[in-house]
Each structure stands twice: as C-alpha cells, then as structure tokens.
Amino acid sequence: HRMRFHQSPVLLIGEEQPKNRFTELQVLKGHFDIVRFLVQIDDFRCASAGDDALVLIWSVETGERLQELRGHTQQITAITTFSSTNGVAAHASLITASSDRSLSLWDPDTGNRVQTISDLQSSVKCLLVLERQCVWISGGEELCVWSKDFQLQSQRQTHSDNGITALIELPKNCIAAAMDKDIMIYRLTVSTDSSVSVAEIRCLSNHQDQIRSLITVNDGLFASGSHAGELVVWDAVEWNMVARERILWEEPQAGTEIRLGAAQPSEVSIQHLSTNGKLIVAAVGGGLYVYNVLTRSVLAYRKQAHDSNVLHTSLLDVMSCSEDGSVRMWEIQEQPLMAEATSAGLFGGMWSFGRSNKSSVHVSKKTPPDSAPVRTLELTGDLIGHSGAVQMFISFNESALVTCSTDHLLILWKDGQRESQRRSLALLHKLEEKGGL
C-alpha cells in the first residue's frame, strides 16, 4: 500500500500570499527539450508537447506519466483534442502537427498512433477542429480541410510570407485565419456527398503589423492583436470592425527629440489574448491590459506585470506567465486609480491609447476618458518554480494548474489546503480498513 503522494517531493510556497491557493507543487519530468504546448484531455488528464518530438500524457490527480506518444521526428508545432463518438460514448483523441511535415492522430488511452499523414508540402502551424461539420483544418503555407478519418477534402495555397498562424471558428460555417497583417475569412460548404469545399470570401486588412493573436470572444465577436499593439474587436457575422485600441506604453521623455541609437520604447507587441466573453486580457510586452468588450473601454492595466514578455494569459482568474520564469495571479482592484496618478505614470510609464473610426487612424490621449475610471491589477500570487521561460499554463477547475517551460519541465500546482485535507481523509480510510479505529 504505497501512498502515491510520496512519488515526488512536494514544496510549500509559504504563507505570505493569503489569496494564492496554489501552495503545493510537483515537478513533472519526462521531456528533453522546451515544452511549448499543454492541452486538457478531460477532467483528469493533460498532454504536453514541444521541441523533443514527444507527446506525454499526465494524470493531474497524481502527477503520474500515463503514456508517451512517440512517432514524430522533429518538434511539435501544434496540438489539439478531437472528440470522436463510437456510438456509445465520446472518446477524446489528439491530433499533432510537427516540423517533420506530418500530422498524427493518437489514442491517449493506449498511446497508439491511429492515423498519420506524412510528406506534407510544409509544416502545419495551427489546427482547428469543427465538431459540427465533422472536419478539422490545418493551417500553414496551405489551408487544408480533412475529414474525421484523415482524408483530404480541400486544399488551397495561402500566398503569404508566414502562412496561416492562427485559426478560429466563426458562425455560419465560416472560419477566420490570421496571415501576416491580414485576417482571411473562408466559408466551408458541405455538399450532399459529404465533400467539403472552401471559398475565400473576405480579407480584413485593418492591422498595420503582424497579427500575433486571434481569439473568439463570444457568439457575436472575435478579436485580434498585433505586433504594433493594436487590439481590434470584430463582428463575427458581418466581419466589420467594432472597436480598435492602440496600446502604447509611452516612456516619459525629458525632451521631445528621440536620438537614434537611444533605448527602444517599451515593447508593445500583443503576444497573447484571452477572454471570458465580456472582458479581454492582452499580454502587451511585459504588461497586462484588461479591456471591457461591452463598454469598449480599458478596465485595468499593469505596465510592468512581469520583468520580460508575457507569453500566456487567462481570465478564469486573471493569470499570466512570462519569459521571466514566473506565473502570476492578479485581482482587478476595486478602487479606480486617481487621474493624477495615472497621468503621472504610476506604473513607470504613461498610458496612451486611441479609438478609431473610418476617418482617423487613432487619437492618442494621455488618460482614458472620465466615463471609464481605470483600475490597477494587484498581484495576489507569484508561483516560483521554473528556471526558464514559462510558455503556457492550463487550469483544472480551481484545484490544479499545470505549467510548462523552456527548462524542459512541467509543474503541477495544487491547492495545498485541499490536498492536505484529502490526504488526512485517505489516511483515516486506510486506518479504518485495517481496523485501527
């Protein structure tokens, strides 16, 4: 009767973060290179993948490595879950894409590679499963539509420098694809013989720089963020621009003259966007910016949330992880900032943003309008454990969090109080079984 929780040392973070429930951590070893992707399979399991070509399946309950999916020969470039029904119950599978120019379908229960497509013209950068249409899409230099049994249904070249870097589903059988500075809208048509064709129907060219993030906000809206700090909210049915913000972290300067060779202004690239349907959180350089979609205004921001670029965010709790190796939890402070404090550059820089309509590109103002008092983000938890950049994280309800990093490790973070209660109960049961009580 070996007790499972002894299989890896548990570290305690300490009591000085009362709002941080993740006080227990377990280090998960198995990868040999940068771990870039995490995906939730079900309530109890997740998969990790990265530059070592391995896909590993983990138990979130115990931290145990359940399966190793071996087959790719180069780094994994995209991964997604794919549910198939066998007539009785839904079964979760995984699709992976790799720099070895192949696509694979895996059974995470057995670790078997069920299907594989090799000799693609180029490596796939993103994957999108359309459950309703029973197809899935791969994006890169080509846009390909595949049936559930891995048969190619449709293929088209993208004719752009970087190809398709992100894909999302839109209403009415449409999808949006980010390509360089543009968003391309495609419509899928399923014919009577179940074959699928794809038509290019609109090109949205409102960004002035490379699109870094593309997300679905809710049934009626989607959003995109660019390398130049542009956040655009779009109508998901009409495909027109609903709102546009330009995020500029301006450095206070003694003189207006900018010398060549002087330090660059702060990084404003939007590295990641996430949403809960009402708010959008944007990772802007090392800062975080919370935008209210309903009021079309800035709700809160923190210019220096991290020491270097934020790579991933979430809005279930406001959370962020960064190249600086930390994972941080935030709360939107109840009290708005005083206007003077904002314009005085409380966060080590001034806030400048703009809204635009068809006639003007953007109007910069030093502080947002009076109607929308801006709040700050207060740090409530700092999860220190990784020794390299934290690439991403996924949450399992409120009880567990999994992070992955360039340090080749995953860390499973748990609610310490809940875990110790669980262990006490397990011990009581064990004593009762042995007749000790």
pLDDT at 350: 34
Q: Per-residue confidence at 88, pLDDT binned at 50, 70, 90?
A: low
Q: How far apart are CA 358 and CA 341, in angstroms?
A: 32
Q: How far apart are CA 405 and CA 25, in angstroms?
A: 15
**Per-residue buried b or exposed e for 351-372, using 16+ beta carbons within 10 Å of the residue's own CB:** bbbbbbeeeeebeeeebbeeee
Sign of CA dihedral 111, 115, 118, 124: negative
The pTM score is 0.84
Q: Which DSSP helix (H) or strand (E) runs through 255?
A: none
pLDDT at 362: 36
Contact 185, 201 (CB under 8 A): yes
Mean pLDDT calculated for residue range 83-90: 69
- pLDDT, one tens digit per residue, over 333-371 is 876 655 434 433 333 333 444 444 333 333 333 344 445
Q: How far apart are CA 284 and CA 269, in angstroms?
A: 5
Q: How far apart are CA 367 and CA 132, in angstroms?
A: 45
Which residue would you say has higher pLDDT here, 364 or 415?
415
Instruction: Return mean pLDDT, the chain.
Output: 84
Share of the chain above pLDDT 70, in %: 82
Contact 183, 204 (CB under 8 A): yes
**pLDDT beyond 90 at 329:** yes
**pLDDT beyond 70 at 262:** no
Spatial neighbors of 163 by CB under 8 A, at least 6 apart, are 122, 125, 139, 140, 141, 142, 179
Q: Per-residue confidence at 45, pLDDT binned at 50, 70, 90?
A: very high
| Structure token pair of residue 342 | 């904002």
Mean pLDDT calculated for residue range 208-214: 95
| Structure token pair of residue 124 | 């796939």
**pLDDT beyond 80 at 437:** no
Q: How far apart are CA 228 and CA 210, in angstroms?
A: 8
Q: How far apart are CA 114 and CA 403, in angstroms?
A: 28
Mean pLDDT calculated for residue range 391-412: 94
Q: How far apart are CA 327 and CA 310, in angstroms?
A: 9
* Phi, psi dihedrals of residue 242, rounded to the nearest 5°: -95, -40
pLDDT at 158: 84
Question: CB count, 10 Å around CB of 262?
Answer: 10
**pLDDT beyond 80 at 13:** no
pLDDT at 37: 97
